[in-house]
A and B are shown apart, each in its own frame.
Chain A
Amino acid sequence: MNHHAIWSIYYFEMHRFLRTAFQSIATPVITTSLYFVVFGAAIGSRMSDVGGVSYGAFIVPGLIMLSLFSESINNGSFGIHIQKFTGTVYELLSAPVSAMELVVGFTGASATKSIMIGVVTLLTASLFVPLQVLHPWWMVAFLVLTSVSFSLFGFILGIWAKGWEQLSIIPMLVVTPLTFLGGAFYSIDMLPPTWRTITLFNPVVYLISGFRWSFYGTSDVGVEISLAMTLVFLGICLATVAWIFKTGYRLKN
């Protein structure tokens, strides 16, 4: 185990993040505030409570998940993609580092940033609406698992993408629609039955539902199913990463 290498990658990536700490923190704070002004204050005041929770408070878990997804994918993909882009990846490939160590370093740093931003989003939200967290350990578990899974997903994207356009296309075309249709702003009970069934094929529904349950104890689907789906997604990402390093896909000749 080359723990020096894991630590070096982690430290290097965190350092890159801290260089741009202001932007990194300011973006989620501003975005979250905007969502609250629009959905919480402007529209939310005309909405009835959802499952016994005020609409403003109802959207908080979904909003945090939203920033976790995008931050994890961005951070996870950027670190490795810029190395491929500038050519500095030669050093990683020639280093005495196993695939797993590489992934732990990169994904660990990316997930750490995402969790920090998730916490900042939560704190920002608490300024606008009264919050309660019924199951804090579950909340932390979902926060960590989601950050890690999506950071891994980002890492895969970063290796797969041949350019910056490709890097942004998956988050834009796939992840954003899935998130918006995943019950971030509504309970899927509000949908007509047919759409509700279709929605159940959207993996994001399970993540948001489980996370919301940890706050308010109400959910669209059972929390065990949510957890299982999160772990399935994590497993798929891990298997893909293992395959990438086994075959050298888009990394090695």
Chain B
Amino acid sequence: MASVLSISNLTKTYASGLQALKSVSLEIQKGEIFALLGPNGAGKTTLINIVCGIVTPSTGTVTAAGHDIQRDYRAARMKIGLVPQELHVDMFEKVIATVTYSRGLFGKPANPAHIEKVLRDLSLWDKRNDKLMTLSGGMKRRVMIAKALSHEPEILFLDEPTAGVDVELRRDMWTLVRNLREQGVTIILTTHYIDEAEEMADRIGVITRGELILTEDKTTLLQKLGRKQLILQLQEPMNAVPAELAEWRLALRAGGNELEYTFDAKSEQHGISSLLRRMGDLGIGYKDLHTDQSSLEDIFVDLVHDKGGAAR
């Protein structure tokens, strides 16, 4: 796959002295869904705003669809759609007018059929003649997406698209994003909801304190950093882990009623069967057993926490 967005050594220091980005480099492949995770103030929005032309970078270069975003800003920006985090809309305008306006602004000739399709896809067609001020927050969010899609962009930025929207819209949004990907649109989204990234993204980048600390294929990330746990509910509670089981480094939980064995998910030799055999030999009975797998959320918290601790 070819790279559609190429960011290299991007830094941004605001006039206030705040260093929002510290040398970020990133390649986004055509047609992928990339999720950018990070705590508040990590630099996610600054990164997006630089690519879209709203913020001027201090140093570094960005190429979008083969065009340098500064030297060749016209060609680059025509390929990019942006749905910002905040709900900025022209309150007194009608839905269809504001979406049609956006298309023109991005240099495309009028195309009522395309506008109709976008509005229908977002369930906005019935509201096309409503003024934006009369719409609910979720509907305004849809309008902002419609504006971003009005000029048929190749790269779509969704800056926290599902912040403060209800479950139904969130599901709709996920469907929409998948449909767009099928049409070949590359999507870069930021989110606080890790389940969202886990559900949708092909690749994940974690940014904190202006540094991209990790970019990884989602499944690889889950495999690589994921840990599995085997939990055994004991028939008889115990006070201490027997010395014979020391090599598995077990932990006692729930007041001695549960034994917890943590193992590496990617390792072939995880030793579950030998553990269970040894327990049988020792006459330790268990009522039930289950395994847990660390979620992306656990991984994320670990990463950001470690990094944050090191930086302090």
List residues of A whose CB falls within 8 A of some B CB: 2, 4-5, 7-9, 11-12, 15-16, 19, 86-88, 90-98, 248, 252-253
Contact = CB atoms under 8 A, between A and B. Distances in A.
A9 B105 contact: yes
Contacts, number: 80
Contact of B53 (A4, A12, A94): A94
Given A86-B88, A91-B147, A96 B106 contact: yes
Dominant secondary structure of chain A at its interface with chain B: helix
B2 interface: no
Nearest to B52: A94
B78 interface: yes
B91 A5 contact: no
B147 to A, nearest CB: 7
B92 interface: yes
Nearest to A4: B104
A8 B99 CA distance: 11
A76 to B, nearest CB: 18
B193 interface: no
Contacts of A8: 100-101, 103-105
B75 interface: yes
Interface string B96-119: 010011111111110000000000
Contact of A15 (B49, B55, B89, B97): B97
Interface stretch (B79-87, B174-182, B250-258, B279-287): B79-87
A2 B88 CA distance: 24
B73 interface: yes
Interface residues of B, number: 35
A90 B78 CA distance: 15
Nearest to A88: B88
Nearest to A247: B56
Nearest to A253: B55
Nearest to A95: B105
Nearest to A8: B104
A88 B90 contact: yes
Given A15-B97, A248-B56, A252-B54, A90 B107 contact: no
Nearest to B75: A96
Given A2-B74, A94-B54, A253-B56, A7 B91 contact: no
B106 A5 contact: yes
Contacts of A92: 105
Given A5-B104, A5-B107, A94 B97 contact: no
Interface in B42-56: 49, 52-56
A181 B105 CA distance: 42
Given A16-B92, A88-B88, A97-B105, 5 more contacts: A4-B106, A4-B107, A87-B88, A91-B105, A253-B15
A94 B82 contact: yes
Nearest to B147: A91
B77 interface: yes
A9 B97 CA distance: 12
